[in-house]
Amino acid sequence: MNPQDIIKLYTERKNIFERVKNEAHEILLSQLKIQGIKLHHLGGRVKELDSLIKKSKRKKMIDPFIEMTDIVGLKVVYLFQGDVETIKGIIRKCFRVVKEDNKLENTPVDVFKYSAPHFDVKLPNRFSEEDIGEMTFEIQVHTICLDAWAAVSHCFYKGDGKVPIKLEKDFYALNGLFYVADTHFEMLRPRILNKPT
């Protein structure tokens, strides 16, 4: 698809993207509160047009509006690692899951990469007959530590997507420190939450 067609369709559909983001945000926030998840932040965004065009070109997409599942993206940033299964359960229950990926679970034990679950989903069935119901979008699930790591490591992955060889050892050592921090926050959780005020 050429850039002019992308611009035209993006402009026509921007309102749909915003509605999908807002509906998903409302559903998630409500259920996270009901389940008592210690939430740091629930963010949502619609991919900027310039970013969409660049990604479409880089990935040689024929129709980015079908092939790209992160035009709309939400991110759950929560405090304690032990809540991840509850959060994943909320997503499975509240949305129609197209794809679920947890890179950490699927990584061999001798290759350390600290990464987060993410889901490609659609809104629940009550939206399926509307124009917003069939759009696939992404939900990422991060602890605060993992969110910090993702933000920093993203800088390294720009361009060719490779970490410079001279920095590889330090890069993966830092990666491990974020994992250890999350693990220890979880260990301290009972003391933190039961601390007298």
User: For the chain, which residues make up each domain, given as ranges?
Assistant: 3-193
Kindly report which listed range (16-20, 22-26, 40-44, 99-103) carries the lowest average pLDDT score: 99-103
The Cα–Cα gap between 197 and 194 comes to 9
The Cα–Cα gap between 119 and 98 comes to 7
- Beta pairing partners, 101: 118
Over residues 109-128, the mean pLDDT reads 78
DSSP 85-140: HHHHHHHHHHSEEEEEEETTTTS-TTS-----EEEEEE--GGGTTSTTTT--EEEE
Kindly report which listed range (53-57, 91-95, 151-155, 184-188) carries the lowest average pLDDT score: 151-155
Whether 108 shows a pLDDT value over 60: the answer reads no
CB 95 within 8 A of CB 24: yes
Q: In terms of pLDDT, which residue wins out, 150 or 76? A: 76
pLDDT recorded at residue 197: 47
Alpha-helical segments (H) within the chain: 3-34, 49-58, 64-67, 84-94, 144-157, 168-193
Phi and psi torsions of 150, nearest 5°: -60, -40
pLDDT recorded at residue 69: 96
pTM equals 0.85
- Beta pairing partners, 41: 77
Could you tell me the sign of the dihedral formed by the alpha carbons of 179, 180, 181, 183, in that order?
positive
| H or E, element range at 76 | strand 72-78
Over residues 108-136, the mean pLDDT reads 78
Using only the alpha carbons of the chain, give its radius of gyration: 18
- 3-193: CATH homologous superfamily? Beta Polymerase, domain 2 (3.30.460.10)
**What mean pLDDT, rounded, does the chain reach?**
87
